[in-house]
Amino acid sequence: MISAYRRALLQVLDFFCLLLALVISGLTTIAPDLGIFQDYTGASLFTVFFYLLFFYILDAYSVGMEDFKETTGRVLVACVLGIISSATASYAFDHWRFDRETLSLLFALSLLFCLGWRWLYYLNAEKLTHPLRILLVGADRTGKVRQLLAEGLPKASIVGYVGEPVADAECGPHLGASFMVLSAAKEKQATMILLLPDAPLDDDIAHELLEAKLHGSMVVDIRSFYEHVVKRLPLSQINDEWLLSAEGFSLNTRGSLRRLKRASDVFISLVLLVLASPLMLISALIIRLESPGPVIYKQDRVGLHEREFTVYKFRSMRQDAEKNGAVWASAHDARVTRFGRFIRKVRIDELPQLINVLKGDMSFIGPRPERMAFVRELKKTIPYYGLRHTVKPGLTGWAQVCYPYGATEDDARRKLEYDLYYIKNMSLLLDIHIIFKTVGVVLFPKGAR
């Protein structure tokens, strides 16, 4: 995950690259007495809008967090979709649309510039990043905090901790009592003071930390910091008290949000059913021809308030796939048919669940519905697992677009952290963000089984 501030900076870079591509294309291919922004206003606006839109949808801003080859693929697809969409949109304006020569040069330059700065970033990543130096208030007794930081900020370093000394603490040297936090931070040149759940704070220490924060120092709670940076709630650090006092978890207390979500579910599912009906018909025919058995696979799943409902999917496995009982799907699952493997990769097998959304059993966006046999077992071992059933399950969701398909208890734990983040921060804007990311996941599938 990348911060909103960093993403905004990278988007500004793309914006200026597109403006530069437009200027060069205008100077090279259009008449000298015409200005590309003055006389081709619509085409220029459509170009910038659609390019940036597809860069966002395809998540082309995970620069430095994925292989450069994958980044190249995302940028290339975004540029292709951007030029096609902008050319189509501007076609209705006789005096605004670009000719083929301008479009070709604009595409080449946009791809060159937007990919170029990413290449330079990869070459100079070490020089562009400045690792955080973190001082802990409280002891990391089990190494969980170090693990969380390694996941969200792999280059951050823990300089030590203040508070009660603990033998074999996995958070660097003990730097003194809690009241020495500011002097320890200055001595170790800490750039962030991180408060752990068991931080021994009294009024005097809290006042000092507040003064430090008001004067520009980064003083943050580990749970809020992790939620902001990694976009999930750390199960190892949260408790009932924090969940109760933290902002969010407002869907069931805000009737307007609940009604808006239901209205959008009905609208989106109806539109998608109409648009996807030819694709669903073709898929049904192929499934019928490839292997014996019903086209639609029905299965009981756990929904809102742990009530079971029947979910509908296109059958992607052999008819006897679960003759020995329920098991989680695995990579290269032998039970999956050839066409079934394809429709799982591109999520076509999920399309019949639009009927579940219309019926009200599911929402378009929410946690993935699981089977009761798995839910019973996971509730015994994973804290707060039952909270995911306080909202309707979804056809897509925050966990689905941020984490690959999970087939173990550890995967279920990680996906729950994403689900809790969504439940806590649910909003129309977050739903729109998930819809865009879902499109990117479909075009660049990861982990589907």
- d(CA 75, CA 83) in angstroms, rounded, equals 12
- d(CA 7, CA 82) in angstroms, rounded, equals 19
- d(CA 314, CA 342) in angstroms, rounded, equals 12
- 333-390 residue pLDDT tens: 667 888 888 888 888 999 999 999 999 999 999 999 999 999 999 999 999 999 999 9
Give me 88's structure tokens. Answer: 């189509």
pLDDT of 208 reads: 78
Residues of the chain short of pLDDT 70, as ranges, are: 1-5, 64-66, 93-95, 125-130, 319-334, 406, 444-449
pLDDT of 230 reads: 82
pLDDT of 56 reads: 87
Residue whose C-alpha is closest to residue 51's, from 121, 115, 101: 115
pLDDT of 449 reads: 44
Phi first, then psi: what are they for 189, rounded to 5°? 55, 45
pLDDT of 186 reads: 86
